[in-house]
Structures are given as C-alpha cells and as structure tokens.
Structure 1
Amino acid sequence: MLHWGTRTSRILGGEIEDKAFGPEGGPTFCTATNRLDLSLPGGSQPPADPLRRWASHILMAKFWVCAAGAGFFLACLILHSRFCGSPVLRNFAFQISWRTEEILYRLDVDWPKYSEYFTGATFSVAVDSLNGLVYVAQRGDNIPKVLVFTEDGCFLRAWNYTVDTPHGIFAASTLHEQSVWITDVGSGSYGHTVKKYNSFGDLVQVLGTPGKKGTGLNPLQFDNPAELYVEDTGDIYIVDGDGGLNNRLVKLSQDFMMLWLHGENGTGPAKFNIPHSVTVDSAGRVWVADRGNKRIQVFDKDTGEWLGAWNNCFTEEGPSSVRFTPDGKYLIVGQLNLSRLLFVAVPPVGSIGDCSVISTIQLADQVLPHLLDISRKTGAIYVAEIGAKQVQKYVPLNSFFSSFGS
C-alpha cells in the first residue's frame, strides 16, 4: 500500500512556514524557530532545492507456522528454550519465532521539517538516542559538513570545522559526555583521519596524520577509513579501506591502544575487499559489511576470532551498511545500488548459521542508501541517501517495535 506525500514551503519574514501533506492528504502546519543560517561564507544561504518526497512505504513480511496443531508445542518450546534451554535450543526456537512475526515501517514524510538544509550529498547519519539528536554528514563545496537535528525533525545547528570529505559518522554519548566521530576520506589537509568532536563541532581528538594516507600501525595511519563503531565502554572498531590502500578491521581501546587487527585485500576468512560498515551486537560479535566481497563477516569482539560469514543473501549486490534493531533480533542491511534495505534474522548466541532475509524495504530508484543508523529508543531507521541528497526516516508500526529501551 502506497501513500504519496508532497510538501511545499515558503519563507515568511525570515522564517519558514511549512505545509506538509501527509499520507491521508491532510495538511499540517508548523513555523520554524530556527532561521536559515548555516554559517556559509559571506552569509549566503543554501539553495531551496525542490523537495524530493518519495512514496510512503508500509512494508510488511508475514511468516506463519501453518501447522495449527503444532502451535501449542511451539509456544512451549520457545518459552522453555528462552528461559531454561541450551544455546542450541534457543537458536532453534529463535528460527521458529521470527517466522511468526511481521515487520511494518512507514516513511515519516514530515522528517525533517525543512529539507532545504540538505545542500550536498548526504553520505551518513548518526543517532544520539540518549539526547534525541540526529547528525547528518554531507559533502559539497562551501556548505556545512555536519547538520544537527532533533529526532522530531527540528534543525538545531550546523558546523564545518576541520572536516574535508566525511564518509561515516557515529554518535557516542553517555551521561557524562556527548561525542561525534567522523571518518574523513578527503585528500586535503584534514583527510585520511578519524576525528572526535563534541556535539557543537569542537575538535577533541584526531587519529592518524591529517592529509597523509598510509598503512602504518605505530603510529596508526589510515587510507579512506569508511566507518566506525564506538561501544559504551569506549572501545572503537574502525573499518579502514573504502577503495584505499588498506582493507582492514581495527579494534582500539578507549585510550587508543591497538587491541587487535584483521585484514588485507582478499577473499578468504578475515580478509576484505572494501570493508564499508561495522557494528557490534549484545552477544559480543562484530559484524562487518565486506562490500566488495558481497558478504558480511563476523568476529568475536574480545579475541578477534573469525566466527563466520554470510554471503548467500548478497548475490546481487554486497552490503554497504549494517545496524541492529534495538532488540538485537534483526540486522538491517543497506544495499546501495539496489536502493534496498534488508531485515536479516540474527541468532542470539553461538554460530551465525545461514543468512535469512525476512523482510525488505524497497526504496525509490536511484536514491542510493549509503549508510544508515537506528534510534535505540524508538526503533526508527534513518537512511542517508546520496542519490536523493537527503536523509529519510522510517518509523516502526509493530507493537514489538514500539517500546524499545535505550
């Protein structure tokens, strides 16, 4: 079922009145509290490009266990395995339980409230679920490289300090600190680095020598670092090599000491061809989108041991982005050129088994979803689309997606 949405905007006395036509055709109105000031050279303003709003998707995948007589037995099996059973039994019950669920998302056509702030190619997005903030990294000349919104879609601020060509962005926040990490793949004076900022864009830490690409480990040097993931403990996982000299996964401690490393160019276990995205699950496993090899590789986060790979789901195109739903049951995988998101069932413990796609979100042609992130509070998915030059938000409709914790 598709609900088409369009939106018009007009500037009123230096502020913006925005008229959004939602899925049911009824207009909604709001007035911006933030003026269009993105701190551009000479006080210039971003062009108000025509808004691209695609079809609102209500997407579902229903998998039912058809043998009615086995229903009671399956319910007992799932409950027993979840609370009393062995890891093998839990994995078996998990494979049954996800087949009885459905996943529904809809496109939030009102996010953000004013899309005119997107003035470049939007390469990545990061959600600070603790503080309700969304960071967008975009590329282009004479534009702000980082935009900051609320999860409700209000624009807060932008900054452009010491950023050359952003690729990945990650928000790592605790009760004591808000930080934003950026992988910079530029060839200029700030490129080939991984940088830490505070939430207002002040530079806090630089990993790697700015403007210098390399393969060294002491000191650590990067070449086109694609993305990173920062755990609550402060440990850092970096995939280095978006078409550069390196094809590796690096784990650093919170004080930036090397803990373990995997990688060289190749197709074998623990080798990569454009490692493009990385994430960590609650079971202590590190998942890497090995884009050029059309697979996802999995490692033990403590030892770096290779645990296996998924490739049967990616025969058409390799994965470009990986993130878990807050409950950890599904891995959301972006496929760039297919303009598609996959929901893949994840065993809770032990062996990763085979890749099983249970649902998809087919985006509009040529929007090119590059990297994505998900709110750990709401389950909303934010997708950075370099083709459409925008970030879009998808909101879960299922009851089991509506009460996530942080």
Structure 2
Amino acid sequence: MAKFWVCAAGAGLFLACLILHSRFCGSPVLRNFAFQVSWRTEEILYRLDVDWPEYSEYFTGATFGVAVDSLNGLVYVAQRGDNIPKVLVFTEDGCFLRAWNYTVDTPHGIFAASTLHEQSVWITDVGSGSYGHTIKKYNSFGDLVQVLGTPGKKGTGLNPLQFDNPAELYVEDTGDMYIVDGDGGLNNRLIKLSQDFMMLWLHGENGTEPAKFNIPHSVTLDSAGRVWVADRGNKRIQVFDKDTGEWLGAWTNCFTEEGPSSVRFTLDGKYLIVAQLNLSRLLFVAAPPAGSIGDCSVISTIQLADQVLPHLLDVSGKTGAIFVAEIGAKQVQKYVPLNGYFLSFGS
C-alpha cells in the first residue's frame, strides 16, 4: 500500500513539473499537453443573463438572426412568421425599442454595420417572393437604403449580381463585405465585395476540396486579416486571407458530430465561438496565432437544452456579451462573460 502512495505522489509531482516547465520554459510539446490538462478543470466562461430581455413576449416568431450595434448599444433580432414584425430592436440591456416589417420576406442573417457617420443594418432575405434572394441595407428605423441582387429572382450570376439563399454577411469598417451565399439552393460560394459593390474575389464551387463549399452558413473576420467560414455541410471551418482570398487552411477535427452553424470571435480575439445547431451547443475554440491555422482545440462548451437550436450569434464589441438566436426556442438569449474567465496556460 505504501508503494502505491509513493507512486501516486511521484506521478503527481511529475505532472506538476511538466506543466510548470511548459509554462515557463516554452516547450511546444509540453505546452500543448499542459493546455489539454488545464481546460478540463476550467470554470464556466459565461453565464446566462436570465433577465434579458425585460419582456420575452416580443418574440413572436422563429428567431433566425441577431446583430449587435455596439457603437449605439443596440441589438437587432430577425424573426420569421406570418403577420409579425420581421425585425425587433432592443438595447443591449434588454429594453424593447421598436419593430419593423418593411420589404423583408424571409430573413436569415443580419449584420449591424454602424460607424460614427451612419447606422446600417444588412439582412439576407431567402424568401421566394418579390423581395427574396437579395441582401438589403436598412437604416436603424427600417427604411430601405440599398438592395444587392435581383429581387425575386434566384441565380448564379455576378453581373448583374444574383443570389440563391444567401446565408450571412460580414461588413468591415472600410465598407468591404464578405457574403456566404448558399444555405441550400444553387450557390455554394464566398464573395468579397468592395464598398462600392465591385467583386474583389470569389470562391464559388460546390465540393469537398479546399476552397469549395457545401452550405457555407456563416462568415467572420479576425484581427490577423483572416476570413473564417462555417462550411456546415462539409463539417468544417475554412480560412482565407481577406486581401487575396488565398485559402489558408481548414478545421475538421472538432466537427465530427455536426458541422458549424455560426462563427464569431470573442471580444479579446482569443477564442472563436461556434454554434452547432442540432446539437444545441456552443463551442469556444482557441484562435491560432497569425501565420498558423493548426488544428481545432475546444477550450470550453455551453450545452443548451435539447431542441433550442442555436442558429446564428453575435458578440458585443463593448461588453463581450454573446447574443444567440435560437430557432427552436424562438428567442434570443444573452450570455455575459465572467470576471477572470480565461485561464492562460501556455499563452
């Protein structure tokens, strides 16, 4: 019995030495090992804000998308249903402000692209009616400002531009935008447009090879100038250079059960938040340094109730709060970061 305890103590001391060595001496192999050990005992990173919004009765349809205007402290919710407002506007604190239902048929993705000079809301419309198959720009009060695509006509064309079930877009502060066009339908492509809507580059084929897609569903950018695409049907995330469109790599090892539905980065840029729709799960994945994609490494998870179905999400640029549009639960939920929520072994 004494030998057992001696061996156990020795093993524990050896493990502690490995972790300390990796932390202070920088061995890549040992650092990786220490990282894997540390996340398993890490506390929950976020907590649910049960008081958001103040009154959930405003959700009257299936909530497909959510967008945060961090500059003005606003949250836009896109919902579907008959004879209901298609867009709801709340404050980040949960106060309901207004609703509008103009020229939106079937909203899917929504993005707030506000600057000091302009407040704008972009919506991808996947409807089959006269407003469908387009991407629309509105001001914060719901007035239609711009339409991309050919209203009511799906297609693959680029001149004039046509869409078929455009899933989501991401707009940079420069006005350049990245569009994933292909939530089913004719297209499986990633398009970059300039601020005056000229095409800068395109990846546009269906397939499993690099830079091809099967239901590209969500797109986001990081501070290193990389474009991250949730390639849902292929159960992977693909990464591209934002300037050239060059394919940089892909993550597949985290998505053997189900592909990613939504991608956004935490406020500090250290973690990519990934929603998995049918698993009703949020993953927090370590963001790789510039110049390296590597393998996907899940740091933490939030397991939601069955059939909640998190579809798309967004992150506040001020508080770091996560807003999740849940089509199964027909609501948007807010998760707020806990103080000291990141442990940094090997950082």
Give TM-score scaled by structure 2 length. Answer: 0.88
Instruction: Give the 3 Å change call, closer, same or farther, for CA 262–402 of structure 1 in structure 2.
Output: same
Q: For each residue in 1:337-357, what CA deviation from the matched residue of structure 2 results, as whole angstroms up to 9, or x when unmatched?
A: 000000000112112100000
- Contact preservation (8 Å) 1:345, 1:358: yes
Q: For each residue in 1:170-212, what CA deviation from the matched residue of structure 2 results, as whole angstroms up to 9, or x when unmatched?
A: 0011111110000000000100001110000011100001100
1:263 deviates by: 2.1
Take 1:350 and 1:154, find their aligned partners in 2: how far apart are those partners? 42
1:103 deviates by: 4.6
- Contact preservation (8 Å) 1:62, 1:100: no
Instruction: Give the 3 Å change call, closer, same or farther, for CA 208–71 of structure 1 in structure 2.
Output: farther
Instruction: Give the 3 Å change call, closer, same or farther, for CA 323–339 of structure 1 in structure 2.
Output: same
- Contact preservation (8 Å) 1:332, 1:344: yes
Take 2:7 and 2:196, find their aligned partners in 1: how far apart are those partners? 53
Q: For each residue in 1:87-130, what CA deviation from the matched residue of structure 2 results, as whole angstroms up to 9, or x when unmatched?
A: 99999999999899655211111100001100000001001111
Secondary structure of 2:76's match?
strand
Secondary structure of 1:178's match?
coil
Take 1:384 and 1:131, find their aligned partners in 2: how far apart are those partners? 20
Structure 1: unaligned runs, 5 residues or longer: 1-59
Take 1:388 and 1:160, find their aligned partners in 2: how far apart are those partners? 22
Q: For each residue in 1:137-184, what CA deviation from the matched residue of structure 2 results, as whole angstroms up to 9, or x when unmatched?
A: 000000000000000000000000110000000001111111000000
How is 1:11-160 mapped onto 2 (pairs within 5 angstroms)? 102-160=43-101
CA RMSD between the two structures = 5.3
Q: For each residue in 1:251-303, what CA deviation from the matched residue of structure 2 results, as whole angstroms up to 9, or x when unmatched?
A: 00011000000021100000000000000000000000000000000000000
- Contact preservation (8 Å) 1:127, 1:373: yes
Secondary structure of 1:82's match?
helix
Take 1:193 and 1:61, find their aligned partners in 2: how far apart are those partners? 73
Instruction: Give the 3 Å change call, closer, same or farther, for CA 263–98 of structure 1 in structure 2.
Output: farther
- Contact preservation (8 Å) 2:47, 2:337: yes
Instruction: Give the 3 Å change call, closer, same or farther, for CA 164–62 of structure 1 in structure 2.
Output: farther
- Contact preservation (8 Å) 2:44, 2:341: no
Take 1:73 and 1:193, find their aligned partners in 2: how far apart are those partners? 60
Take 1:112 and 1:61, find their aligned partners in 2: how far apart are those partners? 59
1:74 deviates by: 14
Take 2:112 and 2:56, find their aligned partners in 1: how far apart are those partners? 21
- Contact preservation (8 Å) 1:63, 1:100: no
Take 2:138 and 2:86, find their aligned partners in 1: how far apart are those partners? 13
Instruction: Give the 3 Å change call, closer, same or farther, for CA 403–185 of structure 1 in structure 2.
Output: farther
Secondary structure of 2:31's match?
helix
- Contact preservation (8 Å) 2:149, 2:160: yes
1:376 deviates by: 1.4
Instruction: Give the 3 Å change call, closer, same or farther, for CA 312–403 of structure 1 in structure 2.
Output: closer
Instruction: Give the 3 Å change call, closer, same or farther, for CA 81–360 of structure 1 in structure 2.
Output: closer
Take 2:311 and 2:196, find their aligned partners in 1: how far apart are those partners? 30
- Contact preservation (8 Å) 1:106, 1:395: yes
Instruction: Give the 3 Å change call, closer, same or farther, for CA 79–127 of structure 1 in structure 2.
Output: farther
1:85 deviates by: 11
Q: Pick the aligned partner of 1:339 from 265, 269, 280.
A: 280
Secondary structure of 1:401's match?
coil
- Contact preservation (8 Å) 1:371, 1:383: yes
Instruction: Give the 3 Å change call, closer, same or farther, for CA 93–199 of structure 1 in structure 2.
Output: farther
Take 1:153 and 1:174, find their aligned partners in 2: how far apart are those partners? 22
Secondary structure of 2:93's match?
coil
Take 2:174 and 2:18, find their aligned partners in 1: how far apart are those partners? 35
Instruction: Give the 3 Å change call, closer, same or farther, for CA 246–311 of structure 1 in structure 2.
Output: same
1:217 maps onto 2:158 in alignment: yes
1:398 deviates by: 2.6
1:135 deviates by: 0.2
1:76 deviates by: 15
- Contact preservation (8 Å) 2:107, 2:125: yes
4+ aligned runs moved over 6 Å, structure 1: 60-101, 401-406
Take 1:186 and 1:112, find their aligned partners in 2: how far apart are those partners? 28
Deviates more, 1:71-80 or 1:287-296: 71-80
Instruction: Give the 3 Å change call, closer, same or farther, for CA 268–358 of structure 1 in structure 2.
Output: same
- Contact preservation (8 Å) 1:61, 1:359: no
Q: For each residue in 1:63-82, what CA deviation from the matched residue of structure 2 results, as whole angstroms up to 9, or x when unmatched?
A: 99999999999999999999
Deviates more, 1:369-378 or 1:79-88: 79-88
Secondary structure of 1:94's match?
helix
- Contact preservation (8 Å) 2:228, 2:263: yes
- Contact preservation (8 Å) 1:242, 1:275: yes
1:377 deviates by: 1.0
Deviates more, 1:131-140 or 1:389-398: 389-398
Answer 1 or 2: higher relative contact order, Cα 8 Å, separation at least 6. Answer: 2
Instruction: Give the 3 Å change call, closer, same or farther, for CA 174–85 of structure 1 in structure 2.
Output: farther
* Alignment coverage as a number of residue pairs: 347
Q: For each residue in 1:333-382, what CA deviation from the matched residue of structure 2 results, as whole angstroms up to 9, or x when unmatched?
A: 00000000000001121121000001000001101000011111111111
Deviates more, 1:63-72 or 1:344-353: 63-72
* Aligned equivalent of 1:317: 258
Give TM-score scaled by structure 1 length. Answer: 0.76
